[in-house]
Amino acid sequence: MIELEKNYTPVIWVTGATKGIGLATANAFAAIGCKIILSGRNKNQLEVNARRIIDQGGFALPLVCDVTSEKNVRSAYATINKKVGDVDVLVNNAGVSIFESFEKTSVKEFDTIVATNLRGFFLCTKVVIPAMLKHKKGHIINIHSVSATTLFYDSSAYSAAKAGALALSRCLRLEVRKKGVRVVDVLPGAVETDMWNKSVRKKYHSKMMQPEDVADAIVSIYCQPQRLTTDEIVLRPVEGDL
Ligand X SMILES: NC(=O)c1ccc[n+]([C@@H]2O[C@H](COP(=O)([O-])OP(=O)(O)OC[C@H]3O[C@@H](n4cnc5c(N)ncnc54)[C@H](OP(=O)(O)O)[C@@H]3O)[C@@H](O)[C@H]2O)c1
Enclosing H/E stretch for 198: helix 198-204
Nearer to ligand X by Cβ, of 9 and 154: the residue is: 154
Nearer to ligand X by Cβ, of 34 and 218: the residue is: 218
- Find the shortest distance in angstroms from Cβ 227 to ligand X: 29
With H, G, I as helix, E, B as strand and everything else as coil, classify residue 47. Answer: helix
Pair 221, 169: CB distance under 8 Å:
no
Give the integer Cα–Cα distance in Å for 162 and 187. Answer: 9
Q: Site mask, ligand X, residues 111-140, x = CB under 6 A? A: -----x------------------------
Q: Taking the C-alpha atoms of 82, 71, 196 and 101 in order, what is their torsion angle to the nearest 10 degrees?
A: -160
Nearer to ligand X by Cβ, of 133 and 221: the residue is: 221
Nearer to ligand X by Cβ, of 10 and 189: the residue is: 189
**Entry field: residues in the chain:** 242
> Given the rule CB under 6 A, which of 38-46, 50-58, 98-106, 124-132 is the region that contacts ligand X?
38-46
Q: Which of 8, 153, 158, 222 is catalytic?
A: 158
- Find the shortest distance in angstroms from Cβ 34 to ligand X: 19
Q: Site mask, ligand X, residues 58-97, x = CB under 6 A? A: --------xxx------------------------xxxxx
Q: Quick check: 19 binds ligand X (CB under 6 A)?
A: yes
Q: What is the DSSP letter of 148?
A: G
Give the integer Cα–Cα distance in Å for 173 and 176. Answer: 5
The single residue among 11, 26, 34, 40 that binds ligand X, judged by CB under 6 A, is: 40
The single residue among 191, 215, 218, 219 that binds ligand X, judged by CB under 6 A, is: 191
Q: Quick check: 155 binds ligand X (CB under 6 A)?
A: no
Give the integer Cα–Cα distance in Å for 62 and 49. Answer: 8
Pair 22, 93: CB distance under 8 Å:
yes
Q: What are phi and psi of 61, to 5 degrees?
A: -120, 115
Catalytic residue status for 204: no
The single residue among 28, 195, 215, 218 that binds ligand X, judged by CB under 6 A, is: 195
Pair 130, 181: CB distance under 8 Å:
no
Q: Quick check: 190 binds ligand X (CB under 6 A)?
A: yes
With H, G, I as helix, E, B as strand and everything else as coil, classify residue 32. Answer: coil
Q: What are phi and psi of 81, to 5 degrees?
A: -60, -45
Q: Give contact residues for ligand X (rule: CB under 6 A).
A: 15-22, 40-42, 66-68, 93-97, 116, 143, 145, 188, 190-191, 193-195, 211
Residues annotated as catalytic are 158
